Amino acid sequence: MSEPKETDTFAALEKREWANSHVARSYAQVFAKAADMVVPCLIEAVRTKPGTRVLDLCCGHGNVAAGLIRAGAQVVGLDFSTAMLDLARAAVPEAKFIEGDAMALSFDDGSFDAVTIGFGMPHVPDPPQVIAEARRVLRPGGRLAFSVWCGPEVDTALGYVFGAIGEHGSKDIALPPGPGANDYADPTLAFNVLKAAGFTDCRQSMVASEWQVTDPGAPYDFFREGTARGGAMLRPQPASNAAAIRAAVVSKILEKHGQGPEWRVPIPAIVTSAVAV
Ligand SMILES: C[S@@+](CC[C@H](N)C(=O)[O-])C[C@H]1O[C@@H](n2cnc3c(N)ncnc32)[C@H](O)[C@@H]1O
């Protein structure tokens, strides 16, 4: 399993982590149960109808593409991880999946009616460039929708895990500088970037996604095994730090969500949508 290297850039870390087939599989099998709950909102936000031509950026294992196909869309999914693309092609044979970078698309101007991005924005080094590329490949009147996890200002597993890393993690382990995980949940930032790129009618809505678990430490495991940024912070921790981080997550979940034996742990998301001018 890979660890953050001192010379890592944010882009290199993201590329390496998502290329790891264990991370890709863990994300698809477990972490994405919460991401899957956001798919209907993305599909609704781009007004998908039979025949709508949709580009699904950062498509991962194909969960958004699967929903779009069910709604009758013609779907092209794009991701830079071949491990993710293998999963997507197996899961959604009706869609076309291609390897590529969301910051430099090979499609002609105006070639799609809609662009979706499920939890891709926090992973790209230059989110405004992705929004600019989405605008370029959309026809006027086409729609963009993207999802981002809410930040720690609300009750969220993401806040519990990263809060515990801040308190109990080794100070020698840090992520390379990059965009904040929740930056694009902020409407001021998101709408300003969208308007500058040629979008109008910017909107946001919250989706109450969650994990249902029988182990209150499971959200720690989901972040450790199935995410790029969380995994890079959690996997290299010395055993004593790792145990303290997991224990802090467990205690936060018991405090906030009761004594069990089952827990519904919130990990809410924001879906932002806009229309190409
Ligand atoms: C958190 S997963 C999201 C998967 C899926 N869209 C969902 O909603 O659950 C992020 C995905 O973005 C991909 N990704 C990250 N940076 C990328 C880039 N610059 N270009 C293309 N794909 C990228 C990763 O390989 C990974 O599959």
Bridge pairing between strands 138-149 and 269-276: antiparallel
The answer to whether position 223 is within a domain reads yes
Written as tens digits, the pLDDT of the chain (277 aa) is: 445 555 689 999 999 999 999 999 999 999 999 999 999 999 999 999 999 999 999 999 999 999 999 999 999 999 999 999 999 999 999 999 999 999 999 999 999 999 999 999 999 999 999 999 999 999 999 999 999 999 999 999 999 999 999 999 999 999 999 999 999 999 999 999 999 999 999 999 999 999 999 999 999 999 999 999 999 999 999 999 999 999 999 999 999 999 999 999 999 999 999 999 9
Cβ 225 under 6 angstroms from ligand 1: no
**String of DSSP letters for 80-143:** S-HHHHHHHHHH-TTSEEEE-BTTB--SPTT-EEEEEEES-GGGSS-HHHHHHHHHHHEEEEEE
Ligand 1 atom at minimum distance from 42 CA:
8
The answer to whether position 121 is within a domain reads yes
Ligand 1 centroid to Cα of residue 60, in Å, is: 5
> Which residue has its alpha carbon closest to ligand 1 atom 27?
60
Helix (H, G, I), strand (E, B) or coil at 231: helix
Residue ranges making up the domain that contains 83: 10-276
Task: Indicate the number of domains in the chain.
Answer: 1
Q: What is the CATH number of the domain that holds 87?
A: 3.40.50.150
The answer to whether position 189 is within a domain reads yes
> Which residue has its alpha carbon closest to ligand 1 atom 1?
119
Residue pair 163/223 in contact by the 8 Å Cβ criterion: no
Ligand 1 centroid to Cα of residue 77, in Å, is: 10
The answer to whether position 39 is within a domain reads yes
